[in-house]
Amino acid sequence: MQLSIVIPLLNEEESLQELYNWIVKVLRSNSFSYEIIFIDDGSTDNSWKIIQQIAAEDEAVKGIKFNRNYGKSQALHVGFDKAQGDVIITMDADLQDNPEEIPELYQLITTEGYDLISGWKKKRYDSVLSKNLPSKLFNAAARKTSGLKLHDFNCGLKAYKKAVIKNIDVYGEMHRYIPVLAKNAGYSKINEKVVQHQARKYGKTKFGVERFINGFLDLITIWFLSKFGKRPMHLFGALGILMFFFGLLAAAWIGGSKLYKLYHGEASILVTDNPWFYISLVTMIIGTLFFLTGFLGELILRSSREKDRYRISQTTGQF
Ligand code: UDP
Ligand code: MG
């Protein structure tokens, strides 16, 4: 099978039939072999009924329904798990992504050999203040921390080589950073393609402004995980030792100068009268905590599942 179209959705009853018709028109006119996987992320409207109807008439259509809303990342996770095509294309269900892009995305993966092509909504039809501006900031931060030169990390329209989606683990709200996850898993042929974007035709957006706060927190997590996920002690241990010795030095200085003054018969002041005493104390305590955090991190790492330690891409010879 050439193509798997993976579509996560939440309460998109008005769009589904129209979206399906459009996708199928494009796929058939290019004579692709394909499957379409709808993942209903706990809709409370008629979305699932519509998916069942479509699937009853077209055996290339498959549907999965969550028993409650788990989030777009979880929907993509199960979609990726089930997808069988050589190329996987994800798109939003709200008709904002244009199915006409599919053939070109497919070409980029198969003939150009890219691992991942991310859509870039260069001309965007969303509200300027609540989305376009924060999204520019957010993408700049993601570019900076990941080293990937993409303009639009969070675009719902993306194409993947099969191996990529089988080797990444989209969880939490990490759908915003799939290109980063792919890069961390060793798939570095990543590029973008300018895609057509439409204003939302029906319904309304499922993400509020909290997306940006969560988005930035996730960015920090992903940066940390990719850099120190397998060696937490290198971050926390270094920080801890640095802080501890800074505190120790300051304390020694305070103690030393007190002894010096005593020796020279100056009127002694209490070490606790010196504000630096408290600063050095706190610094030593925090340093010790950092150090312990590093140790705990290493312990947790040792006892966690072995499965994710590395990924083998090829083998040769008989084992
Ligand atoms: N979506 C989902 N689960 C959620 C939220 C959204 O599956 O918890 C789907 C939604 O139905 C749509 C896609 O994710 O197909 C993108 O969502 P939306 O259009 O609301 O995001 P926006 O375009 O505003 O960024
Ligand atoms: Mg949308």
Strands 116-120 and 190-194: parallel
C-beta separation of 232 from 293 below 8 A: yes
Give the residue, 301 or 51, on which the prediction is more confident: 51
CB-facing half-sphere around the CA of 219: CA atoms within 13 A = 20
pLDDT confidence tier of residue 305, bands split at 50, 70 and 90 = low
User: Lowest-pLDDT range, 7-21, 29-43, 51-65, 128-142?
Assistant: 128-142
**Whether pLDDT at 109 is above 80:** yes
C-beta separation of 183 from 150 below 8 A: no
The pLDDT tens digits for 308-319 are 667 676 777 788
Indicate which atom in ligand 1 lies nearest the CA of residue 11.
Answer: 11
**Whether pLDDT at 84 is above 90:** yes
What per-residue confidence (pLDDT) applies to 209? Answer: 79
Average pLDDT over residues 8-37: 97
What per-residue confidence (pLDDT) applies to 244? Answer: 97
Residue closest via CA to ligand 1's atom 24 equals 205
Of 26, 43, 193, 13, the residue nearest 116 (C-alpha): 193
- In this prediction the pTM is 0.84
Instruction: Return d(Cα 293, Cα 306) in angstroms, integer.
Output: 21
**Whether pLDDT at 306 is above 70:** no
Does any ligand 1 atom lie closer than 6 A to the CB of residue 96?
A: yes
Give the residue, 213 or 295, on which the prediction is more confident: 295
The ligand minimizing its distance to the Cα of 15 is: 1
The pLDDT tens digits for 253-298 are 999 988 888 888 887 678 888 889 999 999 999 999 999 999 999 9
Instruction: Return d(Cα 100, Cα 193) in angstroms, integer.
Output: 13
Does any ligand 1 atom lie closer than 6 A to the CB of residue 76?
A: no
Q: What percent of the chain has pLDDT over 70?
A: 97
* CATH code assigned to 3-229: 3.90.550.10
Instruction: Return d(Cα 248, Cα 246) in angstroms, integer.
Output: 5
List the chain domain ranges: 3-229, 232-301
**Whether pLDDT at 135 is above 90:** no
**Whether pLDDT at 224 is above 70:** yes
pLDDT confidence tier of residue 139, bands split at 50, 70 and 90 = very high
- Tokens representing 131? 């989305």
Does any ligand 1 atom lie closer than 6 A to the CB of residue 156?
A: yes
**Whether pLDDT at 213 is above 90:** no
Average pLDDT over residues 189-217: 90
Average of per-residue pLDDT values in the chain: 92
**How many residues belong to the chain?**
319
The ligand minimizing its distance to the Cα of 91 is: 1
Indicate which atom in ligand 1 lies nearest the CA of residue 96.
Answer: 23
Of 84, 69, 85, the residue nearest 12 (C-alpha): 69
pLDDT confidence tier of residue 27, bands split at 50, 70 and 90 = very high
